[in-house]
Amino acid sequence: MEDYKFLFKVVLVGNAGVGKTCLVRRFTQGLFPPGQGATIGVDFMIKTVEVDGEKVKLQIWDTAGQERFRSITQSYYRSAHALILVYDISCQPTFDCLPDWLREIEEYANNKVLRILVGNKTDREDREIPRHIGSDFAQRHGMYFLETSAKEAENVERLFMEIALELMEQAKCKELPKYDGSLGPINGKTTSVGDSSCCNRS
Amino acid sequence: MSVFLMIRVFHMTTGWQVGCCGCCSALRPRYKRLVDNIFPASPQDGLVKTNMEKLMFYSLSSPEKLDRIGEYLFQKVSRDIYRRRHGYVIIAAEAMDQLLLACHAQTLNLFVESFLKMVQKLLESTDPQLQILATQSFVRFANIEEDTPSYHRRYDFFVSKFSSMCHSNHSDKKMRDRIRLAGIQGLQGVIRKTVSDDLVENIWEAQHMDKIVPSLLYNIQTAEKYITVECLEPESSEVEEPSRLAEACLRELVGRASFGHIRSVLRPVLTHFDRHELWVPNDFAVHVFKIIMYSIQAQYSYSVVEALMLHLESRAGCGAGAGGVRAARANVLTHIVAIAAGDSVGPSVLEIINNLLTNLRTSVDRDSDKDEKLYQEALINALGEFSDHLPDFQKIDIMMFIVSKIPQQRGKGSKQDETLQTILLKSLLKVGLTYRTTELNRAFPFAFLESLLRLSQSSSPRTRELLQRILHTLLDRHDNATRLASPEINYSQLGLSVEKCSRSDLIFINKHGFAIYSSLYEGLQLESNRVSNMSSIYTSAALLCCEVASDESAPDLLQLILSIQNSALTNPVLTRAQKCQLHAIVISLLALLPHCMHLPRLAEYAQKIIENRREEAYELLPPLREDYGDVQSPNKLPYLMVDQMTVIECVAAHGVDTSRLSAPSPYGAGARRPPAKHSWIEAGATQGRDSLADITAGGAAELDSGNSSPQAARCSPCLEPLDDEYMKFYDRYNRGLRTTMQSFGLYHQNNTEAISLESLRRAAGGPTEAERREAERKRGELNNTFRTRPFDQLLHATMPKYELKEKLEEIFNSISECPLLPAASPNKPPALDTYFPELFMY
Ligand SMILES: Nc1nc2c(ncn2[C@@H]2O[C@H](COP(=O)(O)OP(=O)(O)OP(=O)(O)O)[C@@H](O)[C@H]2O)c(=O)[nH]1
Ligand SMILES: [Mg+2]
């Protein structure tokens, strides 16, 4: 039923293989897909959650980490309300690339976009990035921080719920970033054809 | 009409029945009941057709209810999706589609909201079937022409989602292709819906194009083979191949792009090739760029070329092999410029050329490695390919433009200058090869010829050789160049093709022959000449023989030949080998001339010399050799040489006017005049325009005026008003040449070795009194003729209409790096002097 109150767009970015797709599937389908293949271009998922008794629809765009798709994936940043930047805690290079990712986000995303840093694969024994390194980095760059395991379903639900909550509060306080006119309305109205009945900025 | 009425009646009756019997559902609004009734008890049974007709009729007769019907159907779809009752979802979607198509234009908007909400809802499902279903509905909607588009409607979700579907990675290949197809169809729908009206949704914005274009390219790339056709044949059935549909979609998009939108499409295309590293190898890039060229509105095709040119040097997507990527891009350019050429007009043509030349210059400034060379080759090829498809008059403009870009070497040019010079000459040659000469005066406009001849005296042997090759391609109208590639004495087997010289060519050669012959002569005098330089000048001279040989031009050609022989005997800077080579060239040209016109006695004479040389002096015969080993110095015995008097006798027997031949060589220390000019007199006289008496009288008058003043000064006032342009040209050349001639004159006189009576006489005493008189008389004739001849011919011949003239001048003026030839002015030192420092040592 089309009875959600808010519609938010969430975009996942980060190096190939850090587990973006697994996080999304864990959250939307409650499973950890075995042998998950690399994402090509962009994948799309939808999930409606309830926050404070209100229905919030999350449009989740799961982008490919591979370099060659970078130009198409960047084009999805712009309309995002929240950007989840994922790295793999057992893989130093994925952490080292974070500054590059931030630069991209800076360039292509709205500057008020909600940014969350996620260190995935906490279930793994071979951790390379200590927790506090990740959280320090996040703090320095004004990002929320969370460590997750798509495999063990750890913090995945929480990740998206926090995002929904935060965005909802922003929307309620009318703090939701104002996008330039050409983008059209931002919140529930972003795709007006799909959600004329939802509350949007009221 | 009648069918519609029947249905109407039918519905009226059934409608009543429904109204009467539906007591239990009476509480529900009628439209809801009508909607509910279209769903069967079991979804396998499909849409209840008769009830659907009722619903249709109802919504048509009560259009104000349409929005509620739509909303209600949408609710049902949502619920059924949620409950995974896909059978019902499909039925609802079908009903929505039918209602949409039945809606009248004015009422459409009431319904479209719900319809599109349903489509989005279906697209949000993870079930590919529903996504495909959604796409089909969307395409149906997209094909409806709305008379008042809804400006608040936004399509960014659809663009995002369809683009995502275009990249489907579904594990089942069949399903994957179907999803991708659906994605492409959806994008096609959005494009069709929005493309014509920017107010609806500006599809050309980067946020959309950055999704649409890569999605299409990604699918086009999956084709098994890239076969590029100018126009896709319309598919009779549904397209099954994502690659084909994506191509069709790209063509449609590009075809609809107005000028302002082209860059919006091209930018993501270029980025895609960079990102996906699709330049090397570049078959796919060629495929796509050709598709774009074929589908773009012709008047904009230049923009594609321009965009690609601007991207040539981009570092993006180069990785380590920047040079290779550049070369590959330039190669793509080569493939598309031909398509653009047909549609390019005026300034854009020169803009393209200018851009290519700028890129060449940039490339030369970099360290040259193998890839850089490939890049340069590719650029030159692009230049050639482009020119090949232009009309001939533009090719000349382009060649003149390129010539203007060639750096002039004063003294020691930098290595880069030299490289650039070579590269630009190669470009020139490339363009020249595409030009088909018809009339010489069209192929060699004055300024162009002047520049070419100036370059023919370059200090770099490589440059000189290239320059000769350019002359070859422009002179050679009968495909003789390869046959005349090197000196030869057996012409009969060569199968040369010779045609009678046309009137306009004769005019041309009379006007410019002296300058051309002089430059060939001078070219042969250079110490730095290699065999290839010698051969290439021979080829130019030989081609001239083939192209312009006639009674009128023969004396000048023979004079050139004799002068070359003379220089072989007297020029002290030449090496032993070079002297031998010159003799071989002399005999080769002498043997060629009778092959081009009727001069059997000359042929006999040449043959006799050849035989003598065969026996005693093989070194004086072709082929040209680098090394003449044991030959101490070339044999100079008179019977092995070409004797001027004998030549005169031979040709006079065939009615050729020999007065000029007996005059001193204009290439030696002799009179300074354009000897060719006076053939006008003969032409005029035979046509009876000028009486011989007039000419003689004029000559006498001329003779009387002060004989100590420089001859040029006496000539100019008479010529200038007639042909200012020509005089400037002539002046410049003679000024430049005279200096060197005088140098020759000096050692000429010191040369004590007797060669033949005739040459000795000339060498020692210069022209005889009789010859001088004759020369003066001729000059008088010449001047007189210039007064009386029809100007328009010459004017016409020297002032071709350049469509691009203004543009050219503008660009010429803007070129500061490579200064143009200074305007002809007697105050300026002749450029040629600096080229031959060695000659001034004597
Ligand atoms: N141990 C462990 N492995 C994980 C976890 N999440 C993902 N993986 C594994 O990491 C690999 C990559 O996961 P994906 O979800 O495909 O990675 P991705 O970020 O979507 O990669 P791209 O689509 O190429 O950008 C897969 O083999 C997963 O099984 C996790 O939480 N723990
Ligand atoms: Mg993925």
Spacing, Cα B86 to ligand 1 middle (Å): 31
Q: Do B160 and A44 touch (CB under 8 A)?
A: yes
Q: Do B164 and A193 touch (CB under 8 A)?
A: no
Question: Which among B164, B169, B205 has CB closest to A44?
Answer: B164
Are the C-beta atoms of residues B18 and B31 closer than 8 Å to each other?
no
CA distance B688 to B842: 49
Asked if B218 reaches chain A (Cβ–Cβ under 8 Å), the answer is: yes
Nearest alpha-carbon partner for B138 in B109, B85, B81, B96: B96
Helix (H) / strand (E) containing A48: strand A42-51
pLDDT value at residue B238? 63
Asked if B157 reaches chain A (Cβ–Cβ under 8 Å), the answer is: yes
B555 prior amide bond cis, ω within 30: no
CA distance B756 to B36: 120
pLDDT value at residue B299? 85
How close A37 gets to chain B, by Cα (Å)? 8
Q: What residue's CA is closest to ligand 1, atom 21? A: A17
Asked if A47 reaches chain B (Cβ–Cβ under 8 Å), the answer is: no
Q: What residue's CA is closest to ligand 1, atom 8? A: A19
Question: Which among A70, A72, A194 has CB closest to B157?
Answer: A194
Spacing, Cα A94 to ligand 2 middle (Å): 14
How close A100 gets to chain B, by Cα (Å)? 16
Taking CA–CA distances from A59, the nearest residue in chain B reads B124
B617: which residues sit within 8 A by CB, 6+ positions away? B634, B635, B637, B640
CA distance B123 to B36: 23
The 10 Å CB-count burial string (b at 16+, else e) for B604-626 is ebbeebbebbeeebebbbbebee
Q: What would the pLDDT profile of A142-155 be if each residue is shown by its tens digit?
A: 999 999 999 999 99
Asked if B189 reaches chain A (Cβ–Cβ under 8 Å), the answer is: no
Helices (H) and strands (E) in chain B, counts: 38, 0
Q: What residue's CA is closest to ligand 1, atom 11? A: A17
B664 prior amide bond cis, ω within 30: no
Helices (H) and strands (E) in chain A, counts: 6, 6
Low-confidence ranges of chain B (pLDDT < 50): 1-23, 669-767, 784-805, 807-842
Are the C-beta atoms of residues B651 and B554 closer than 8 Å to each other?
yes
Q: Do A191 and B82 touch (CB under 8 A)?
A: no
Token pair 């000559």: residue: B699
CA distance B522 to B737: 8
DSSP code per residue over A81-103: SEEEEEEETT-HHHHHTHHHHHH
Q: Mention the CATH class of domain A6-156+163-178.
A: alpha beta
pLDDT value at residue B254? 94
Spell out the alpha helix ranges (H) of B655-723: 659-662, 679-686, 692-704, 711-719
**Up-side HSE of residue B753: CA atoms within 13 Å toward CB?**
12
Tell me the average pLDDT across A103-132. 95
Mutation probe of ligand 1 site: the residue of A15, A21, A66 with most atoms within 8 A of C-beta: A21
In this structure, what token pair is assigned to residue B796? 């016409």
Q: Do B275 and A68 touch (CB under 8 A)?
A: yes
User: What's the angle, vertex CA A129, arms to CA A125 and CA A130, rounded to 5?
Assistant: 85
Using an 8 Å CB-CB cutoff, list chain A residues near B159. Answer: none
Asked if A78 reaches chain B (Cβ–Cβ under 8 Å), the answer is: yes
pLDDT value at residue B346? 61
Question: Which among B154, B166, B214 has CB closest to A192?
Answer: B154
Q: Do B275 and A67 touch (CB under 8 A)?
A: yes
Distance of CA A22 to the CA centre of its chain: 13
Closest ligand 1 atom to residue A120 Cα is: 31
Domain ranges of chain A: 6-156+163-178
Residues of chain B above pLDDT 90, percent: 30
CA distance B319 to B841: 55
Token pair 């639900």: residue: A157
| 3-state SS assignment for residue B154 | coil
CA distance B187 to B138: 10
Tell me the average pLDDT across A7-13. 96
Report the side by side order of strands in the sheet with A114-120: A42-51, A54-63, A6-13, A82-88, A114-120, A144-147
Q: For ligand 2, a single-atom ion, which residues have Cβ within 5 Å?
A: A 20-21, 39
Tell me which amino acid residue B70 is. Answer: G
CA distance B330 to B358: 13
Asked if A45 reaches chain B (Cβ–Cβ under 8 Å), the answer is: yes
pTM: 0.72
| 3-state SS assignment for residue B298 | helix
Spell out the alpha helix ranges (H) of B549-691: 554-570, 576-596, 600-616, 644-652, 659-662, 679-686
Asked if B166 reaches chain A (Cβ–Cβ under 8 Å), the answer is: yes
Q: Do A75 and B210 touch (CB under 8 A)?
A: yes
pLDDT value at residue B382? 87
Using an 8 Å CB-CB cutoff, list chain B residues near A108. Answer: none
pLDDT value at residue B771? 56
Q: What would the pLDDT profile of B735-783 be if each residue is shown by its tens digit?
A: 433 333 322 222 232 333 333 444 444 444 444 555 556 656 655 555 5
ipTM greater than 0.95, yes or no?
no
Q: Do A2 and B275 touch (CB under 8 A)?
A: no
Greater model confidence, B406 or A132? A132
Please list every protein residue whose CB sits less than 6 Å from any atom of ligand 1. Answer: A 16-22, 36, 38-39, 64-66, 120-121, 123-124, 149-151
DSSP code per residue over B455-492: HTT-S-HHHHHHHHHHHHHHH-SSS-TTTTSS--S--T
How far CA A143 is from CA of A102, A110, A111, in Å, comes to 10, 14, 12
| 3-state SS assignment for residue A121 | coil
How far CA A14 is from CA of B218, B347, B707, in Å, comes to 21, 47, 93
pLDDT value at residue B547? 93
For chain A, the maximum distance between any two Cα atoms, rounded to a whole number of angstroms, is 49
Rg for chain A, CA atoms, rounded: 16
Asked if B124 reaches chain A (Cβ–Cβ under 8 Å), the answer is: yes
Q: What residue's CA is closest to ligand 1, atom 9? A: A19
Chains A, B: CB contacts within 8 A come to 105
pLDDT value at residue B780? 53
In this structure, what token pair is assigned to residue A152? 């063990």
Q: Do A68 and B124 touch (CB under 8 A)?
A: no
Nearest alpha-carbon partner for B324 in B388, B277, B364: B277
pLDDT value at residue B578? 92
Q: What would the pLDDT profile of A45-95 be if each residue is shown by its tens digit?
A: 999 999 988 899 999 999 999 999 998 999 999 999 999 999 999 999 999
Q: Percent helix, strand and coil across chain A, each rounded to 5? A: 35, 25, 40
Q: What would the pLDDT profile of A173-199 be if each residue is shown by its tens digit?
A: 865 554 433 333 333 333 333 333 333
CA distance A102 to B207: 19
Using an 8 Å CB-CB cutoff, list chain B residues near A29. Answer: 126
Rg for chain B, CA atoms, rounded: 40
**Up-side HSE of residue A75: CA atoms within 13 Å toward CB?**
26
